[in-house]
Amino acid sequence: MGTVADAALGAGGQVIGVITKLLEGRELGHTGITALHVVETMHERKMMMANLADAFVALPGGLGTLDEMFEILAWAQLGIHSKPVGLLNTAGYYDSLMTFLDHVERESFLRLNHRTEVIFDADVPRLLSRLSGSMIKSPVVGTIRPA
């Protein structure tokens, strides 16, 4: 995350971070970003990030990345948000996940529109363009609150 934040800042962008007190206490917070919000729990962190986001992009990562990505996908399926979701499929990292989501859909645990709305792409500019093109014209008004 720090590398992405540094690149965005280096390109003149703004970076907003959300971290828990526990992680901040371990000195994992980026001190050079535009704004850093400190919250109590991981749940609060995910909700704040979701509220601040126009879209969601998961880079290759571990359990924390998968946890956050699947919660966002579940919230989309529940109608809590309608923001686009993309996965940067670097070197085929998410190929097995695509296959798994196709399986979940075939087993009728995922509605077709939710599977096809997850954008997988290995090319950053194309992924961002596809996400931008899939943004709804009139965004959901209000705060994301899980059901």
3-37 in b/e burial notation, b at 16+ Cβ within 10 A?
A: eebeeeeeeeeebebbbbeeeeeeeebeeebeeee
Which helix (H) or strand (E) element contains residue 84? none
Q: What integer pLDDT is reported at residue 118 of this predicted model?
A: 87
Mean pLDDT by 10 residues, the chain (147 residues): 90 93 82 92 93 94 94 88 93 95 87 73 94 63 51
Question: To the nearest 10°, the Cα dihedral for 85, 10, 40, 65?
Answer: 40
User: Could you give the domains of the chain?
Assistant: 1-52 (no CATH), 54-134 (3.40.50.450)
Q: What integer pLDDT is reported at residue 137 of this predicted model?
A: 42
The reported pTM is 0.81
The pair of structure tokens assigned to 90 is: 């670097």
The CA distance from 144 to 53, in Å, is 11
